[in-house]
């Protein structure tokens, strides 16, 4: 039996599937975030050293994970689109970018909110903070490049080249920043020094990470649906869809 | 193929020589930006000595950024670029030749003038060589990475600002390592590690960037 791998690589057949998947993953995201936040706020014990302020990690750490992971996913789809010239891959890449930028910003913002009571400063030029900031710039560059190109096919391909160059650069950026920082100031502040975590804290964080993951899938699929409608607006099936829902 | 490369390099250099004001603009921009910093942060020699490598490197970054847009724009406008795309020479090689010529025009002058600017910042004389060497290794990397950005933004509206948004984050490692070389040399650590890393980056970029820029050019022109 041959599996029809490419059935869902056409926007027409993927569109309804994306709608269903987005609904399900959206619901899962709500449940997981609800459970995760409940564990974070009510079940997890107060930290002996950091007090209540540590509870921001339930947002912060999953957001930071997602921000990096989503860039890889985005580059994967972009590369796939560049290699096989598939329409949908480019749409997925541009659908993921805003969510990735959102999580990067969220990680930076919550990190700075956490830094003020804990480190006594909103911002330090720590290696992780700096590379996260540069990651945000990379997302912005990707989105700005796509926004500046009118022809969607060229936008997809140009964005793909940029995303792939960015992926090659991310490890170089991370290590150069890390090295630069250790050269200048000792590791006065380090995220890795945190005391070993209570099991409930870890559970809360992992549940939240799944929640963010499901949210990313749902948001990216919803956005991909909009992009599909916009780009395929001349086609028959979009016209049918428009008539059906009107 | 080498003849074709020589031809591209010769042509670009000749064009630059005929319009030498373009070259001078970038150089003057570099000098002015560097000279602005003492006015902004105050003339304290100790402070200036500390920030000198960083300031000169950031200014070199911006200056090379400024020159990037011209790398392919005029060839694109008069149709030469399309002939290059159609030509028998592999596009990556042509791009490499163009990047080299671009570096000779926009990067090399900065390298040569940097010791003079460093003297303005009272940088010790034994560091001048390290600084110039780090720039000599680093500015070609800037041109190589920049070529990708220049190819991607070819013919787009708002090209200049967009180009900086794309390229500046990718410049970060070069900036950190390049400015670190002179600083490490100042603190008796010796800048050798940084210079070797810069050399490594240069080899890496020289191998891959022309190829990526060629892909980007084909996307932009098709």
Q: Is the pLDDT higher at A6 or at A185?
A: A6
* Local structure of B184: helix, strand or coil: helix
- Residue A94 placed within a domain: yes
- For residue A114, what are the CA distances in angstroms to A209, B11, B35? 18, 57, 39
Report mean pLDDT in 10-residue bins for chain B, 222 residues.
Answer: 88 90 90 92 87 92 88 88 88 93 93 92 87 94 94 84 90 90 81 89 94 92 82
Nearest to B176 among A138, A157, A180 (CB): A180
* Local structure of B189: helix, strand or coil: coil
pLDDT at A181: 65
Query: For A17-35, what is the mean pLDDT?
Result: 92
pLDDT tens across A203-222, in order? 888 899 999 999 999 999 99
User: Which residue in the block uniquely carries the two structure tokens 């940097």?
Assistant: B114
Does any CB of chain A come closer than 8 Å to the CB of residue B219? yes
**Cα gap B20→B14, rounded to integer Å:** 10
* Local structure of B183: helix, strand or coil: helix
pLDDT tens across A114-169, in order? 888 877 888 877 777 888 899 999 999 999 999 999 888 889 999 999 999 999 88
Q: Is the pLDDT higher at B127 or at A196?
A: B127
Residue A1 — very low, low, confident or very high, per pLDDT cuts 50/70/90?
very low
Min Cα distance A151 → chain B (Å) is 10
Q: What's the angle, vertex CA A151, arms to CA A149 and CA A152, rounded to 5?
A: 95
Residue B221 in contact with residue B154, Cβ under 8 Å? Answer: yes
pLDDT at A76: 93
Residue A111 in contact with residue A119, Cβ under 8 Å? Answer: no
- For residue B72, what are the CA distances in angstroms to A38, A39, A43? 56, 56, 60
Enclosing domain of residue A112: 16-237
Query: Partners of A51 in the beta sheet?
Result: A47
Does any CB of chain B come closer than 8 Å to the CB of residue A178? no
pLDDT tens across B64-116, in order? 888 888 889 888 888 888 888 888 888 999 999 999 999 999 999 999 999 99
Total number of domains constituting chain A: 1
Does any CB of chain B come closer than 8 Å to the CB of residue A63? no
Has residue A233 got a pLDDT over 90?
no
The two three-digit tokens of residue A56, written as one number: 């921001």
Q: Print the SS3 string covering chain A.
A: CCCCCCHHHCHHHHHHHHHHHHHHHHHHHHHHHHHHHHHHHHHCCCECCCEHHHHHHHHHHHHHHHHHHHHHHHHHHHHHHHHHCCHHHHHHHHHHHHHHHHHHHHHHHHHHHHHHHHHCCCCCCCHHHHHHHHHHHHHHHHHHHHHHCCCHHHHHHHHHHHHHHHHHHHHHHHHHHHHHHHHHCCCCCCHHHCCCCCHHHHHHHHHHHHHHHHHHHHHHHHHHHHHHHHHCCCCHHHHHHHHHHC
Has residue A112 got a pLDDT over 50?
yes
Query: For A67-86, what is the mean pLDDT?
Result: 91
- For chain A, the farthest-separated pair of C-alpha atoms sits apart, in whole angstroms, at 64
Residue A244 — very low, low, confident or very high, per pLDDT cuts 50/70/90?
confident
- For residue B53, the number of C-alpha atoms closer than 13 Å in the C-beta half-sphere is 28
Has residue A22 got a pLDDT over 80?
yes
User: Which residue in the block uniquely carries the two structure tokens 């011209």?
Assistant: B70
Query: For A76-88, what is the mean pLDDT?
Result: 89
| Residue A163 burial (CB count, 10 A) | 28
What is the percent of chain A where pLDDT is above 90? 39
Note the Cα A215 to chain centre separation in Å.
10
* Local structure of B217: helix, strand or coil: helix
Contacts of A180 in chain B (CB under 8 A): 176-177, 180
Q: What's the angle, vertex CA B17, arms to CA B12 and CA B20, rounded to 5?
A: 120
Does any CB of chain B come closer than 8 Å to the CB of residue A161? yes
**Cα gap A67→A64, rounded to integer Å:** 5
CB contact under 8 A, A169 and B162: no
**Cα gap B153→B167, rounded to integer Å:** 11
Q: How much is the pTM?
A: 0.87
Residue A27 in contact with residue A33, Cβ under 8 Å? Answer: no
pLDDT at A190: 47
- Residue A74 placed within a domain: yes
Enclosing domain of residue B173: 2-221
Contacts of A145 in chain B (CB under 8 A): 152-153, 162, 166
**Cα gap A218→A18, rounded to integer Å:** 9
Nearest to A141 among B157, B165, B172 (CB): B165
CATH number at residue A152: 1.20.120
* Local structure of B158: helix, strand or coil: coil
Residue A101 in contact with residue A143, Cβ under 8 Å? Answer: yes
pLDDT at A200: 80
Total number of domains constituting chain B: 1
């Amino acid at each position: 039996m041959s599996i029809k791998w490419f059935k869902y690589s056409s926007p027409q057949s993927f569109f309804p599937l994306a709608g269903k998947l987005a609904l399900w993953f959206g619901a899962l995201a709500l449940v997981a975030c609800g459970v995760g936040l409940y564990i974070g706020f009510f079940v997890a014990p107060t930290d002996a050293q950091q007090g209540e302020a540590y509870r921001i990690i339930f947002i912060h750490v999953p957001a930071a994970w997602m921000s990096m992971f989503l860039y890889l996913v985005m580059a994967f789809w972009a590369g796939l689109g560049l290699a096989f010239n598939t329409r949908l891959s480019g749409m997925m890449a541009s659908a993921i970018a805003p969510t990735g930028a959102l999580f990067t910003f969220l990680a930076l913002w919550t990190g700075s909110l956490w830094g003020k009571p804990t480190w006594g400063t909103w911002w330090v030029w720590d290696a992780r903070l700096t590379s996260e900031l540069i990651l945000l710039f990379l997302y912005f560059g990707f989105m700005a490049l796509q926004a500046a190109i009118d022809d969607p096919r060229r936008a997809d391909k140009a964005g793909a080249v940029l995303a792939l160059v960015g992926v090659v650069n991310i490890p170089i950026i991370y290590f150069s920043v890390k090295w630069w920082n250790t050269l200048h100031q000792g590791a006065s502040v380090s995220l890795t020094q945190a005391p070993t975590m209570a099991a409930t804290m870890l559970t809360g964080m992992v549940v939240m990470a799944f929640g963010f993951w499901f949210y990313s899938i749902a948001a990216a699929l919803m956005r991909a649906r909009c992009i599909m409608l916009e780009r395929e607006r001349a086609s028959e099936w979009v016209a049918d869809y428009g008539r059906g829902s009107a | 193929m080498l003849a074709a490369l020589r031809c591209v390099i010769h042509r670009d250099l000749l064009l630059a020589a005929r319009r030498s004001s373009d070259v001078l603009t970038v150089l003057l921009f570099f000098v002015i930006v560097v000279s602005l910093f003492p006015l902004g942060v105050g003339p304290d020699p100790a402070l200036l000595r500390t920030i000198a490598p960083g300031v000169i490197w950031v200014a070199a970054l911006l200056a090379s950024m400024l020159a990037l847009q011209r790398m392919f724009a005029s060839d694109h406008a008069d149709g030469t670029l399309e002939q290059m795309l159609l030509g028998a020479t592999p596009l990556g090689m042509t791009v490499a030749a163009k990047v080299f010529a671009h570096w000779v025009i926009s990067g090399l002058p900065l390298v040569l003038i940097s010791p003079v600017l460093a003297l303005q910042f009272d940088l010790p004389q034994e560091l001048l060589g390290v600084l110039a060497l780090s720039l000599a290794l680093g500015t070609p990397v800037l041109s190589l990475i920049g070529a990708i950005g220049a190819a991607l933004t070819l013919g787009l509206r708002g090209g200049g600002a967009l180009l900086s948004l794309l390229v500046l984050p990718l410049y970060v490692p070069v900036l950190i390592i390049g400015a670190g070389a002179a600083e490490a040399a100042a603190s008796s650590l010796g800048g050798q590690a940084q210079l070797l890393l810069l050399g490594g980056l240069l080899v890496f970029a020289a191998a891959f960037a022309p190829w990526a820029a060629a892909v980007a050019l084909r996307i932009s022109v098709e």
